[in-house]
Structure 1
Amino acid sequence: MNVKVKVIGTPSIEINGEALRLPLKKAEAIVYYLAIEGRASREKLASIFWGTKDENSAYNNFRNALYLLKQYFPKDSIIADRRYVSAAGFSCDLDIIDRISDVDTPLPQCLSDELLKGFDIPECADFGNWLLIAKSQFKTRVTEKLKTRITACYDSQDEDNLESSLEMLIAADPFDEDSTLELMDIYFKRRGAAKASTLFREYKRRLSEQHPENRTAK
């Protein structure tokens, strides 16, 4: 059976091409957590999702969620031993990130999206804290891979790929000044002054919106 887990942008789970709707949101969150982290201890998962309960209740709730996942997922997709739980045989959209530094790999548009967009469990503060860190790490990972790709584009003088890679980097990190200036230069050479000026105005507007206190008083 083919299991696809999407964690970039709005998350989803598919089994054999059909969307899976789990009846317990925390069980769904465990799947996304494992897809991103690879594996986690039973203790860690119980603490993240049921940390406000006493230890026995937390473990009981975790075991129920794990049992639910094993009912819905193909055998050996969720592997659990006495200490750890891990995901196996998943196809996850995160896998593309390690390949985007290769200039021959097409750039997916999802790179500018955030991790687990719109997904939250308000009563699980620890999950929320983990997610904030995971989103930051994802953005850093994407930008680093794109910068490696951009360097390769300069080396090979691949201007088309360079332009699209810089555009994607700015979409992922709109406040990257150096990359914005590089793209302005490319636009000026390849698209004309108007295109470069538009990019500059957009960058200036974003800065103004982020730091309204720096606007010149009229």
Structure 2
Amino acid sequence: MAKLEIYLLGRVEVLWEGQSIIDQLSHKSIGILSYMAIKKDKSFSRNKIANIFWDSSDSNSSRYNLRYNIWSLRKIFKNNDEEVDLFIADKESIRFNDEFNIYVDAENFHHKIKNSKENTIKDLEYLKGLYKGEFLEGFYIKDSSEFNDWVFYEREKFQRNYIKILSKLVDHYKSIEEYQKAIDILENMININPLKEELYLQLIKIYIKLGDRDLALHHYKRCCTVLREELNIGPMEETKKIFNQIQKGEIPQEKKEKEIKIEIKVKKKKTNLNLHYTDENTLEQVLERINPDRDKKIIYTYTYPLGNIEYYWISEVVDRIIEDYPRNILKRLPKYYWQDLSLINSATEKYLEDILSSQEMMDNKIFKALEDLLSEISKDEPLVIILDYVDAIDKKSLEFIKYILYRERFKNMTLVLIGKDDEHENIEEIKKYFKVEG
């Protein structure tokens, strides 16, 4: 195992001998490590690095700041067993020491793509697993515009390669009729680029092939809604043509034996997050069953029939976490959680300090930030979230619930949904895809 592990795909993480030391590093030190780690065998000009990270300072100040950060990194990553320095440097250049055992996920990702002669499914699935999220997701440095531009370029490059990998996997799983795997990957691709109409069209065609007219129509309407709300345009002629064929019943039904095979493939997805539905009269019995030892943290949330105020319930969850958990615990959590959640809840700003806030209001940033926050606080203490009156939940928050159910990260968390109408469209939407306990 590498002594130093640098993870750049997704939220940045730095491990030293298996332990996270990200909180010991300044933003500039993380940036320097990241910039050099992408090409860890390359030698870098000290002047260039100094100018990238301190472009508003004079040359003497920027070189001094670089020397200080290099000294800090050497001190943190001092190898006590062997006298091996992290860097090899002189007055003009700096590089990582080849003798220092370093693993970089982004470099591994790039190397596998570049040197893979055959796109085997095993290789593609491995690469898919390496990509945990956007390159340096949510990471910015104030007053370092050149570095931020570099991050943007690298982020786009890695995402393009990731999309190509997912596209190849979708084609493969469709060809062998592993339709549920193809559907899951397409949903992931839509989460990355919700305006890509071709992805919805592929979903529609899969559900037509599966003989599920209702879901084919659902994804057509979903596509139309996104295009209209975000771009003020309608769907392509090909998409409308397929919709008209479904409406007129011109899509042929599959044979009976095919339907039996399909029923097995599209069965409700099992999720690691424990999911329960009840009414207010039987809530106590459900809680007694899922929390018999009363050792789980209970967060009670409520939704009101206020119309579709976006992110209302998500913001309510954030409020309850801030109220119910000690501030010193929340202060220790990575600040990018609060950075992205501040887009919908200003109460998080007290945990931000001087981090640059994102200009992009993107669902996946908000969803990922709350997912990471919930995952972190439920690690040591099992968590139960009660959502009272799921009938009134806003659409964005309902999408978040489906998002975390699909992601399968939570083994230590339970979600209890309370409703007044067990046939309401909100609970039906969840039941359509996931197994819900009573």
User: Quick check: TM above 0.5?
Assistant: yes
Matched to 2:129, the amino acid is: P
Q: 2:104 aligns with which of 82, 92, 103?
A: 92
Seen in structure 2, the aligned counterparts of structure 1 residues 203 and 89 have a Cα distance that, compared at 3 Å, is: farther
Matched to 2:64, the amino acid is: N
Q: 1:146 aligns with which of 166, 190, 202?
A: 166
Seen in structure 2, the aligned counterparts of structure 1 residues 152 and 42 have a Cα distance that, compared at 3 Å, is: farther
- Tell me if 1:28 matches 2:25: no
5+ long unaligned stretches in structure 1? none
Q: Tell me how far apart the structure 2 counterparts of residues 25 and 183 of structure 1 sit (CA, whole Å).
A: 41
Identity fraction in percent: 21
Alignment of 1:200-211 (within 5 A): 200-211=220-231
Q: Tell me how far apart the structure 1 counterparts of residues 86 and 226 of structure 2 sit (CA, whole Å).
A: 43
5+ long unaligned stretches in structure 2? 235-438
Seen in structure 2, the aligned counterparts of structure 1 residues 195 and 123 have a Cα distance that, compared at 3 Å, is: same
- Tell me if 1:127 matches 2:147: yes
Work out whether residues 27 and 69 of structure 1, in 8 Å CA contact, stay in contact via their aligned partners in 2.
yes
Q: Tell me how far apart the structure 2 counterparts of residues 178 and 93 of structure 1 sit (CA, whole Å).
A: 30
1:67-99 CA-to-partner distances (Å, cap 9, x unmatched) read 111111255574333424248633333335747
Work out whether residues 4 and 14 of structure 1, in 8 Å CA contact, stay in contact via their aligned partners in 2.
yes
- Please state whether the residue corresponding to 1:108 is helix, strand or coil: helix
Q: 1:23 Cα deviation (Å)?
A: 4.3
- Tell me if 1:167 matches 2:171: no
Work out whether residues 3 and 14 of structure 1, in 8 Å CA contact, stay in contact via their aligned partners in 2.
yes
Matched to 1:48, the amino acid is: I
Matched to 1:123, the amino acid is: D
1:117-176 CA-to-partner distances (Å, cap 9, x unmatched) read 222112111111111212211211111222233344455554444333333333333233
Work out whether residues 135 and 158 of structure 2, in 8 Å CA contact, stay in contact via their aligned partners in 1.
yes
Seen in structure 2, the aligned counterparts of structure 1 residues 179 and 62 have a Cα distance that, compared at 3 Å, is: same
Question: Quick check: which has more Rg, 1 or 2?
Answer: 2
- Tell me if 1:80 matches 2:58: no
Q: 1:195 Cα deviation (Å)?
A: 2.2
Q: Tell me how far apart the structure 2 counterparts of residues 174 and 181 of structure 1 sit (CA, whole Å).
A: 12
- Please state whether the residue corresponding to 1:53 is helix, strand or coil: coil
Highest relative contact order (Cα 8 Å, sep 6+), 1 or 2?
1
- Tell me if 1:67 matches 2:110: no
Q: Tell me how far apart the structure 1 counterparts of residues 201 and 130 of structure 2 sit (CA, whole Å).
A: 22
Seen in structure 2, the aligned counterparts of structure 1 residues 169 and 90 have a Cα distance that, compared at 3 Å, is: farther
Seen in structure 2, the aligned counterparts of structure 1 residues 8 and 198 have a Cα distance that, compared at 3 Å, is: farther
Report the number of matched residues.
213
Seen in structure 2, the aligned counterparts of structure 1 residues 169 and 49 have a Cα distance that, compared at 3 Å, is: same
Q: Tell me how far apart the structure 1 counterparts of residues 135 and 227 of structure 2 sit (CA, whole Å).
A: 23
Work out whether residues 42 and 85 of structure 1, in 8 Å CA contact, stay in contact via their aligned partners in 2.
no
Q: Tell me how far apart the structure 2 counterparts of residues 73 and 172 of structure 1 sit (CA, whole Å).
A: 35
Q: Tell me how far apart the structure 1 counterparts of residues 226 and 37 of structure 2 sit (CA, whole Å).
A: 33
Q: Name the residue aligned to 2:137.
A: 117
Q: 1:191 Cα deviation (Å)?
A: 6.7
- Please state whether the residue corresponding to 1:114 is helix, strand or coil: coil
Q: Tell me how far apart the structure 2 counterparts of residues 201 and 36 of structure 1 sit (CA, whole Å).
A: 42
1:31-59 CA-to-partner distances (Å, cap 9, x unmatched) read 12223344443222111101211112211
80-89 vs 194-203, which moves further: 80-89
TM-score (norm 2): 0.43
159-168 vs 119-128, which moves further: 159-168
Matched to 1:192, the amino acid is: D
Q: 1:13 Cα deviation (Å)?
A: 1.2
Work out whether residues 143 and 173 of structure 1, in 8 Å CA contact, stay in contact via their aligned partners in 2.
no
Q: Name the residue aligned to 1:103.
A: 121
Q: 1:178 Cα deviation (Å)?
A: 2.2
